Amino acid sequence: MLYLDHNAASPLRPQALEAMLPWLRPGAVNAGSQHRAGQAARAALEDARQAVAAALGGSPRGWAFTSGATEACNLALQGLVRPGGRALLLGATEHPAVAATAAALAAQGCTVETLPVGPEGTLDLGALDAALGRHPGALLALMLANNETGVMHPLREAAQRARRAGGLCFSDLSQAVGKAGVEVEALGLDAAALSCQKFGGPQGSGLLWVKPGVAVQPLLHGGHQERGLRPGTEAIAQAAGAAAALGQALADLPAQSRRWELAQQVLDAGLKRLHPRWQLHGAGAPRVPNTVCASLVGLDSDLLLMRLDQLGLQASAGAACAAGSREPSPVLLAMGASAAAARSALRLSLGPGQGEDEAHQALRCMAAALDGFRQAGLLDQ
């Protein structure tokens, strides 16, 4: 099987497993305990935090381990936005972890405004300026790389504009870390979230970074763990695995990025050769190099994905969190795609070690699938 669904989850890296094993075997203890075993666990946790800060910037104390990016996004947004307080501005192509949290805040009486994107999926900076004029001091929530299209927003510029208006900037970095250079302070962020499974860390692990001096109200109450921001016994194995995976992902990035770039070019051109009606989404904008999103209007994406799976290619129709939904992709609709195109989207996302060979293999599977649909009268020539 050829697995090209790494934007949903990238398999656990061997380095992450190796780092986790000592904390999964009998004898693992609570990092809050005062005995030697507990202090060894505390040291491992802080070593992981130091490694994350060295890789992504910011003070180690600013990084908190969470159960995933969804929890981290909720912590940041609900901890910074309150009814009667600062407004929340978000891009129209945000992940549901942000968009659904924004909807919940709006239902509580918070001021929330969604900002449009252009046809290639990048934020309309003019619309941002206008919104900041209406809501000075607002929190801007803007992802760096989109999970469906791979399109990268002008995050640094947007954060600067938010700051000039007296506001803050939060970013979901989940799809950018391990695929592009990321440094939280250089981007001008005040808070950031990410999912560790996207770069080969353990599932059920995430990170939240909060800039010193930015006050985030916790969602949960209990112990003092993670400076009280995320109380509960720390998962040492998850933290160790996440840090090891992150370090390996960044060490591999220069060479791997070039392999992905070549594969992306092969896929972009190859899909158009297979059928002229393929629509590439966001191909005219900066993208993370591992992602291709395209639609073949008139061909049901669920049917295509099932046939590709039979032929040995595992891919997705877009966001994994929306799997099974017959609603068109909100991301593609926001970019101006038709409902038919948004329902027929295919996402191919490469992972570690993959490149041109996997791109050509994917195109062979795609050619076989399309030939079968033509023969069955389900697709025109």
| Structural tokens at position 84 | 């009667």
Higher-pLDDT residue of 323, 274: 274
CA 63 to mean position of chain CA atoms: 17
- Answer whether 120's CB lies under 8 Å from 282's CB: yes
pLDDT score recorded for residue 324: 52
Q: Give pLDDT tens digits for 115-153.
A: 999 999 999 999 999 999 999 999 999 999 999 999 999
Question: Over the chain, what is the mean pLDDT?
Answer: 95
- Answer whether 131's CB lies under 8 Å from 115's CB: yes
The catalytic residue among 73, 110, 293, 321 is 321
Span 7-23, mean pLDDT?
A: 97
Span 85-102, mean pLDDT?
A: 98
- Band (pLDDT 50/70/90 cuts) for residue 98 is very high
- pLDDT at 342 > cutoff 70: yes
Span 245-266, mean pLDDT?
A: 98
Distances (CA, A) of 225 to 43, 221, 290, 372: 14, 10, 36, 56
Query: Catalytic site residue 321?
Result: yes
Distances (CA, A) of 342 to 4, 6, 300, 329, 348: 20, 20, 11, 5, 15
> DSSP secondary-structure letter at 314?
E
Span 245-259, mean pLDDT?
A: 98
User: Angle between the 125-134 and 155-164 helix axes, to the nearest 10 degrees?
Assistant: 20
- Band (pLDDT 50/70/90 cuts) for residue 319 is low
- Answer whether 242's CB lies under 8 Å from 201's CB: yes
CA 36 to mean position of chain CA atoms: 38
DSSP, collapsed to helix, strand or coil, labels residue 58 as coil
Number of residues written out for the chain: 381
Percent of the chain with pLDDT over 70: 98
Domains and CATH numbers, the chain: 2-6+253-375 (3.90.1150.10), 14-247 (3.40.640.10)
- pLDDT at 321 > cutoff 60: no
- pLDDT at 15 > cutoff 80: yes
Q: Cα–Cα distance between 191 and 159 in angstroms, integer?
A: 11
The closest alpha carbon to 355, from 274, 253, 264, belongs to: 264
pLDDT score recorded for residue 322: 52
User: Angle between the 96-107 and 69-80 helix axes, to the nearest 10 degrees?
Assistant: 30
- pLDDT at 318 > cutoff 80: no
- Measured at the CA of 149, the angle between CA 143 and CA 153, to 5 degrees, comes to 35
| Structural tokens at position 174 | 């989940």
- pLDDT at 49 > cutoff 80: yes
